[in-house]
Amino acid sequence: MNISKTTPPTVARLLDVQDRQALIVCGTAQNTPEQNPPSPTRLIGYNYIREGEVSLSDTNNMWTQLGPGTVFCFGSEPERIRYNPNRPYSEYFIVIDLQTANHLRKIGIALPEPGISFIPPPEEHIENAFATFIQQAHDESISPSHILIQFQTLCLQLQQYHHSTDTDLFITAACQMLTRIWTTPIPSIAEQLGCSPTHFRRRFRESTGFSPLQYRRIKRIEQAQILLNYHSVKAVSYFLDYSTPFTFSLHFKKAVGMSPSQWKNYLRENNL
């Protein structure tokens, strides 16, 4: 991609990921991109379209046009991406190499796969999440470990979205609301989605197999399992909005079968 101007400029940060360093590159691309030959290094990119249009091809060579507000993921295959040269283009981008991506997956960080596009609900403001991450990456006073946890959080958000039907988008929005603020009451979420709490619970269970509260508990513990790799029990309980570390430990042990401290030791002893 040829970039005539970047605001803020592209930055590369080295992040310590257990036994190796991970390189992450991010910034803001503007102007109309041009196709480049395939990169000799396999890359995975996560792009938020701010302005303009992109067409993305899947493995069956089916093309989907994406507009502003869409996130798309790509690998080092520029022939699968087409830009509209007749319109200005602007995006936020985050790029990592394939080796880093595989290592992050190995330690439990969920990364969206290349070739997938996402349409977040309008109220999510995922653009702000990209912008905040890029701004923090430029700030040398922010530690690599904090940058990594912000990247994890962004990836977890992206996993909740996909380009799909209206019914699925309803459930996608519901999942996002259930995990955006962990303490939001179910009736409040149902009201935002334009339905009664009873209708919301029934529709959610029919689509996911879980009640809204069950889904929230599962996702909360899944995030805790990842965050405990990098943070103290107290910090994780605060980040996930548990009332006290003791309450967090009770919920975690009931779900996982071991306390948060035991889980941290398990990860350390098994180099996970």
pLDDT at position 119, please? 62
pLDDT at position 78, please? 54
Q: Rounded mean pLDDT of 18-44? A: 62
φ, ψ (nearest 5 deg) of residue 129: -65, -45
- Compute the mean pLDDT over every residue in the chain, rounded to the nearest whole number: 76
Of all residues in the chain, what percent carry a pLDDT higher than 90? 10
Mode of pairing for the β-strands spanning 20-30 and 54-57 = unpaired
pLDDT at position 83, please? 75
What is the side-by-side order of every strand in the sheet holding 43-51? 11-17, 20-30, 90-97, 43-51, 71-74, 117-118
- CATH for 166-269 is 1.10.10.60
Angle at 199 between CA 178 and CA 251, to 5 degrees: 35
CA–CA dist 232, 24 (Å, integer): 24
pLDDT at position 44, please? 79
**Superfamily (CATH) of domain 11-140:** Regulatory protein AraC (2.60.120.280)
In terms of average pLDDT, the best of 27-36, 54-63, 243-252 is: 243-252
- Output the CA–CA distances (angstroms, integers) from residue 266 to 110, 153, 234, 260, 271, in the order listed: 20, 23, 18, 10, 8
Residues whose CB is less than 8 angstroms from the CB of residue 136 and which lie 6 or more positions away in sequence, other chains included: 142, 146, 147, 150
Neighbours of 49 (CB within 10 A): 20
In terms of Cα–Cα distance, which of 11, 31, 33, 13 is closest to 22? 13
pLDDT in tens, 231-264: 899 999 998 989 999 999 999 998 888 899 999 8
Q: Parse the chain into domains and list their residue ranges.
A: 11-140, 166-269
**Whether the Cβ atoms of residue 264 and residue 228 lie closer than 8 Å to each other:** yes
Q: Rounded mean pLDDT of 103-131? A: 68
Residue 106, pLDDT > 60, answer yes
Residue 60, pLDDT > 60, answer no
CA–CA dist 85, 92 (Å, integer): 18
Fold: same for 11-140 and 166-269: no
pLDDT at position 260, please? 93
Please report which confidence band the pLDDT of residue 167 belongs to, taking 50, 70 and 90 as the band edges.
very low
**Whether the Cβ atoms of residue 133 and residue 154 lie closer than 8 Å to each other:** yes
Q: Rounded mean pLDDT of 158-170? A: 55
Q: Which token pair is 229? A: 């790799």
